Amino acid sequence: MASWSSDTPGSCDCFVSVPPASAIPAVIFAKNSDRPRAEVQEVVFVPAGTHAPGSRLQCTYIEVEQVPKTHAVILSRPSWLWGAEMGANEHGVCIGNEAVWTKEPVGEGEALLGMDLLRLGLERSSSALGALRVITDLLERYGQGGSCREDPAPFCYHNTFLLADRTEAWVLETAGRLWAAQRIQEGARNISNQLSISTDISAEHEELRTHALAQGWWGGQSTFDFAQVFSLAQQPVRMEAAKARFQAGQQLLRQQQGSITAEVMMGILRNKESGICMDSGGFRTTASMVSVLPRDPTQPCVHFLTATPDPSRSVFKPFIFGAGVAQAPQVLSPTFGAQDPVRTQPRFQTQVDRRHPLYLQHQEALGLMESEQVTLRES
């Protein structure tokens, strides 16, 4: 079982606003991806595709069966793996994920990563509810597991997800192969590195409560509270910090109820005082995303992605699905084929330079800004 350390990420936040919380008739989705400081996150466009019967699909660590048709997706992902931290598909479905630790043990055996499940949900569904069903079906069949960091020392966790489309949102929280989900039809909601679904459960794994009973975590007489039953009795320090950040996110959303826009969400993602915009120890916000999903199906969904670290020092670049859409090479990392450290056994024994052109230019610009600030202070 992977252990916690001071470098375990204490952040990652997802937000959604469903009318009437939004200032416009649209669902607005947002996420900060907080990852190891040196990790590069690329933005990848994958067109829709058709696949031969019986074909297989290689995810980060394991293969799964392919489906006959997959939808076009835009993904913001750590460049070493197959899945993604956040993304959207051509039907206006958006998903973000968070690391979570519960009473269920986290195994190091290789299975599907939460980021793989996220991408599979986007490629195989046309609604948030459909994506939830895809993810839970694959989770129950294949489980989740494997190192989530490009490092020889395994770092493993389970996942929570925020799924949204033009009409509603869902929170999906997992503990091993078990799960609970909550439907959000109006208002604003956020998730962080902790379980947050209490008694308002809209759907759940059929064995969720019997498993809790068998483990002695729930007596069966009181109201079933998923977060209370499955959360660790003694939270690690970093998870306690996540509670404060979750509460800060709730407050920021509450302050903007009825007037939430894409710009408001970008401001929340850039908020450093709360820790939502993270820069602490070996981790930082490596990429960010905001999506506007209009209720009117004739209007396009607009997705804004940074592809660079620290949203307070990055530009959100817009993307819209449409005819002629193609991959932007500036945000695509180099590939290393069979020699990639994620493919060779044992994994992650060497390091490669995954920085894409925009990342390099961003680093150069920040270096110039910082040197100018030093010069000004000295003068």
Residue 72 has pLDDT above 90, yes or no: yes
The domain that holds 264 is classified in CATH as 3.60.60.10
Check 12, 14, 148, 277 and give the catalytic one. 12
What's residue 67's pLDDT?
98
14 labelled catalytic: no
Q: At what angle do helices 114-123 and 128-142 cross, to 10 degrees?
A: 130
Does the pTM of the predicted model rise above 0.75?
A: yes
pLDDT tens digits along 152-183 = 998 999 999 999 999 999 999 999 999 999 99
In a domain, 262, yes or no: yes
In a domain, 4, yes or no: no
DSSP strands (E only) in 66-177: 69-70, 73-78, 86-89, 94-100, 158-164, 169-175
In a domain, 320, yes or no: yes
Nearest to 107 by CA among 72, 152, 158, 64: 158
Residue 302 has pLDDT above 90, yes or no: yes
Rounded Cα distance, 287 and 37, in Å: 11
Backbone dihedral region for residue 128 (phi beyond 0: left; psi -120 to 50: alpha; all else: beta): alpha
In a domain, 243, yes or no: yes
The tally of domains found in the chain comes to: 1
What's residue 313's pLDDT?
94
In a domain, 1, yes or no: no
Range of the domain at 197: 13-378
pLDDT tens digits along 81-117 = 999 999 999 999 999 999 999 999 997 799 999 999 9
In a domain, 7, yes or no: no
End-to-end Cα distance, the chain: 53
DSSP structure class, residue 120: H
Residue bearing tokens 């993304």: 87
